[in-house]
Homo-oligomer: A and B are copies of this chain.
């Protein structure tokens, strides 16, 4: 990787994109951060907070950045990624057919990396669909598919914070489909964010996250709906809510725009985990209904084995 600081373009300056912008700039990985934000209110907020050095158009961002971070909900990301790679690829093709004195070189934006040296990454929570969308793209090797496993239940530029990624895992999915030099550069990017890389296939990623992330969100949403329903009859139902309730329901604050595409794109895995989960709930229900203390003891003591996993 060049000793020169990179120009990093971030498309979507929300919780993830904005938090990356803060630390990549502050910790010296990015010399310059270019921001792209379709939502005008969010764009204004991102500038006010100082997340980017400059807000630019999507095209400018692609043309002028060394590394392009696609940090939009996965539904939009799956549509945008092929278009970004198209633009990079046609730039690289034009460049390779041009002589050194050709106007295309002379007109290149100042300080921009050569199209064939640009890298695009995504940071989405599901990986199979986005990898499938560019599997045969001629610029596929310049795309590195990643999922930094960090976040909060908040969203938008207001939710961006320093240190969000410190000490957490970052998945690299199907990394053998990317150019080794590109993977190396992105490993350095995540190393600057203090993340430890884990390599796996995109399909394996989607199974894992269905079980240790997506289902937790659905159980929280369902819990919120259950108690909010009861509140219609019992106005003070929340008066007694304590730490345990808050902890299990916290994720129900999560954003629909982010979670609808995750749940639909990871359809098969999410359905499988939901079906197992509903089955377990039903076993609990039946044990309670029949006052079966032995069955309840077995279920609870089996569940207690989670102590081995979490602090």
Contact = CB atoms under 8 A, between A and B. Distances in A.
Interface of A: 149-151, 153, 168-169, 171, 198, 205, 207-209, 211-213, 215-230, 234, 236-242, 244-256, 259-260, 263-264, 267, 270-271, 273-278, 280-282, 284-285, 288-289, 291, 293, 296-297, 299-307, 309-311
Q: Which 8 A-B pairs have the closest CB atoms?
A: A224-B306, A221-B303, A224-B303, A222-B280, A256-B300, A216-B248, A212-B241, A252-B303
Given A222-B277, A228-B305, A264-B296, 9 more contacts: A149-B242, A218-B284, A219-B248, A227-B306, A247-B251, A249-B310, A253-B306, A271-B288, A278-B282
B296 A263 contact: yes
A300 B254 contact: yes
A171 B239 CA distance: 10
Contact of A213 (B225, B230, B242, B311): B242
A19 to B, nearest CB: 14
B270 A288 contact: yes
Contacts of A234: 207-208, 211
A62 to B, nearest CB: 29
A302 B227 CA distance: 11
Contact of A221 (B254, B278, B284): B284
Contacts of A297: 256, 260
A205 B239 CA distance: 11
Contacts of A256: 296-297, 300-301, 304
